Amino acid sequence: MLIKTFSFDQLEILSGIMELYAPDGFEADISYGNGSFYKNVKKPHYKYDINPQVEGVIEACSTRLPNLSETLSSVVFDPPFLTYVRQGREGNGKMIMANRFSGYWRYDELEEHYKNTLKECHRVLKKKGIIVFKCQDIIHNHKMHCTHANAINWAKERGFSLLDLFVLGATHRLPSPNRKGKQKHARIFHSFFLILQKQ
């Protein structure tokens, strides 16, 4: 089947990425969550999360991985993308998405986490190794934050180049909490998978 940059099916995108960039499977997933990426594809060898949810996942922060330098060929990173998540700091998040995926309060906290993880991935990856980086743009404080473009720039500053960019469309989203008044921005119905290669 032709591998395309757009799909509504996450599995189709992940299988395509695997076929193109990691035919033997991804080596590490550093924000494993409940492992929903791997329902129908090979699981990674190293499974890390700051808050392990399933058996076999090792507690580790994506900014301080237990692997030796320049030893991995591929890393999957699917960090939280939401801001204004109090739970991120104070443990009182109310949104379903926030509770499931966690998040940040301010956008600069997201930026710090993403940049420090790119730095750590640069350390553990071999030359030409790849990161499969899932991200989503957001509106924060009435301002559009084009996270996928920011992440590409932060990755380039760190010594990665962009090999491919996949867009995952969503057919539905959970309702926004307590939305009142007139809508000011379009609701975001897509996310990105960036393929970044260490130079």
Q: b/e string for 85-97 if b means 16 or more Cβ within 10 A?
A: bebbeeeebebeb
Task: Show the site string, 30-59: x = touches ligand SAM by CB under 6 A, - = not.
Answer: xx-xx-xx-----------xxx--------
Alpha carbon separation from 100 to 82, 87, 162, 169 (Å, rounded):
11, 11, 29, 20
Rounded to the nearest 10 degrees, what angle do helices 107-124 and 147-158 cross at?
40
Of 129, 126, 127, 121, the closest CA to residue 74 belongs to 129
Cβ-based nearer residue to ligand SAM, 33 or 129: 33
Any contact of residue 80 with ligand SAM (CB under 6 A)? yes
Chain residue whose CB lies nearest ligand SAM: 33
Any contact of residue 101 with ligand SAM (CB under 6 A)? yes
Number of residues that bind ligand SAM (CB under 6 A): 17
Task: Show the site string, 14-33: x = touches ligand SAM by CB under 6 A, - = not.
Answer: ----------------xx-x
Any contact of residue 161 with ligand SAM (CB under 6 A)? no
